[in-house]
Amino acid sequence: MVKKSLMYINLCLILWCVSCSSEKKEKAEEASFNITSPLVKDTLIDKDYVAQIRSINHIELRAQEKGYIQSIYVDEGQFVQKGQLLFKIMPNLYESDVNRAKAEAKYAEIEYQNTKSLSDKDIVAPQEMAMAKARYEKAKAELASTNTHLGFTEIRAPFTGIVGRLHVRKGSLVDDGELITELSDNSKMWVYFNVPEAEYLNQMSERNTGDPMHVRLRMANGKEFSQQGVVETIESDFDNETGNIAYRATFPNPKGLLRFGETGNIVITSPYEQALMIPQKATFEVLEKKYVFVVDKNNVAKAREIKVAAELPHLYIVSSGLNKEDRILLEGLRKVQNNQKIANKYLQPQQVMSHLDLYSE
């Protein structure tokens, strides 16, 4: 008797579960979901490339003579003009060398003049005259050399620019070739970035030979730099390891906002003909791959992988996986399972694209 009762209870539970499952399925079929199709349209897309910003002229200033730093006339970050005196190395030793060379040159000059006077009277041999002249020329060369070394004790700006970090202080002993500071000409900036081979080929085919390639710079704070740049140089070789080629764009920097060593992103705008566009919210990800639910003629939603060529605000441009006739699930992706039949309402792509903010979840 107890056994029959248990069998009856189990049967009731099975029928109840089947009934619940059937009700859920019916409710899922009764729920209506919005669907749409990709929009095909010519558009412009922005492509970002990580960039390194460099000064058009950036050099290291090094000591050309050994000695003690006697004077420092500038500070870090100071704007200086070409030829302006920046540092002075104690010149005493070099001044002494100059004075000695002057005396030797004067002595050689007097000797040469006397020998010449005697030579004019045929009192001395021509060889004697030649030796006196050679000694005089050598003394003048020694004087010029010592004056050059004395000049090296004054370190001047080779061009107009901004002084970098000071690596010495007043009284420091510096050796020949020791780094003192850096100098940057930031009137224009060189911005370097790498472009993959496929994108390089597309860019070259889209522009006419000789036409400049204009680019924009998005700075590290997310804001766009006010000046537009021009790509002036493309390296001759591709990097075999990365498959990239290096570009160099030149940007005017009238307000000096950009500095050597900054980073940012180069933005290149390219036309994209007959782009297949879908809302971003119509996609979902599985293991870093993007999918959409394609609704077939029987109203069955089936997951399909897609490839994204570019990203726009609220939109993806699809390179493969869809065609313009496909119907895709627009919303409620989490409520639908693969191969589930759904009731749906079709919305025109133009209507969907114009109201993305309203339909966004």
Question: Is the pLDDT assigned to residue 209 strictly greater than 80?
Answer: no
Highest mean pLDDT among 50-54, 208-212, 280-284: 50-54
What's the pLDDT score for residue 361?
39
Mean pLDDT (whole number) for 207-226: 88
Report d(CA 144, CA 256) in Å as an integer. Answer: 40
Confidence of residue 30 (pLDDT cuts 50, 70, 90): low
Contact 290, 284 (CB under 8 A): yes
The closest of 310, 260, 252, 304 to 280, measured between CA atoms, is 310
What's the pLDDT score for residue 223?
95
Which H helix or E strand runs over 65?
A: none
pLDDT averaged over every residue in the chain: 86
Question: Is the pLDDT assigned to residue 16 strictly greater than 70?
Answer: no
Q: Say whether domain 31-44+273-359 belongs to CATH 2.40.420.20.
A: yes
Q: What pLDDT digit, counting tens, does each position of 311-355 carry?
A: 888 889 998 999 999 999 998 888 999 999 999 999 998 888 887
**CATH, domain 64-90+154-177, list 3.40.50.300, 2.130.10.10, 2.40.50.100, 3.50.50.60:** 2.40.50.100
Q: Write out the DSSP string of 190-248.
A: EEEEEEEHHHHHHHHHHS-TT--EEEEEEETTSPBPSS-EEEEEE-SS--TTT-EEEEE
Question: How far apart, in Å, are the Cα atoms of 119 and each of 70, 111, 112, 216?
Answer: 49, 12, 10, 76
Query: 47-55+185-271: which CATH architecture?
Result: Beta Barrel (2.40)
Mean pLDDT (whole number) for 175-190: 95
Structure tokens at 182: 């850096």
From the number of C-beta atoms within 10 Å of its C-beta (0-12, 13-18, 19+), residue 303 rates as: middle
Report d(CA 223, CA 229) in Å as an integer. Answer: 15
What's the pLDDT score for residue 104?
87
Share of the chain above pLDDT 70, in %: 90
Mean pLDDT (whole number) for 87-99: 81
> Class assignment of domain 95-152?
mainly alpha
Which stretches does DSSP call E strand in the chain?
A: 32-36, 39-62, 67-72, 79-80, 85-89, 154-156, 161-163, 173-174, 179-196, 213-219, 229-234, 244-252, 263-279, 284-286, 289-295, 300-312, 315-320, 328-329, 340-341, 343-346
Report d(CA 351, CA 332) in Å as an integer. Answer: 18
Structure tokens at 277: 């566009």
Q: What pLDDT digit, counting tens, does each position of 95-121 carry?
A: 777 788 888 888 888 888 888 888 777
Structure tokens at 180: 């003192």
What's the pLDDT score for residue 43?
85
Amino acid in the structure at residue 193 = F
Report d(CA 258, CA 247) in Å as an integer. Answer: 18
Q: How many CA atoms are closer than 13 Å to the CA of 255, on its beta-carbon side?
A: 4
Beta-carbon contacts of 141 under 8 Å, excluding residues fewer than 6 positions away, are: none
Q: What pLDDT digit, counting tens, does each position of 255-299 carry?
A: 999 999 999 999 998 878 888 999 999 999 988 899 999 999 999
Mean pLDDT (whole number) for 224-235: 94
Domain spans, the chain: 31-44+273-359, 47-55+185-271, 64-90+154-177, 95-152
Amino acid in the structure at residue 45 = I
List strands edge to edge, sheet with 173-174.
154-156, 85-89, 67-72, 173-174
Contact 347, 35 (CB under 8 A): yes
Confidence of residue 357 (pLDDT cuts 50, 70, 90): low
Report d(CA 105, CA 262) in Å as an integer. Answer: 53
Mean pLDDT (whole number) for 128-141: 88
The conformational region for residue 67 under phi > 0 = left, psi -120 to 50 = alpha, else beta, is left
Confidence of residue 24 (pLDDT cuts 50, 70, 90): very low
Mean pLDDT (whole number) for 19-37: 63
* Residue of higher predicted confidence among 197 and 148: 197
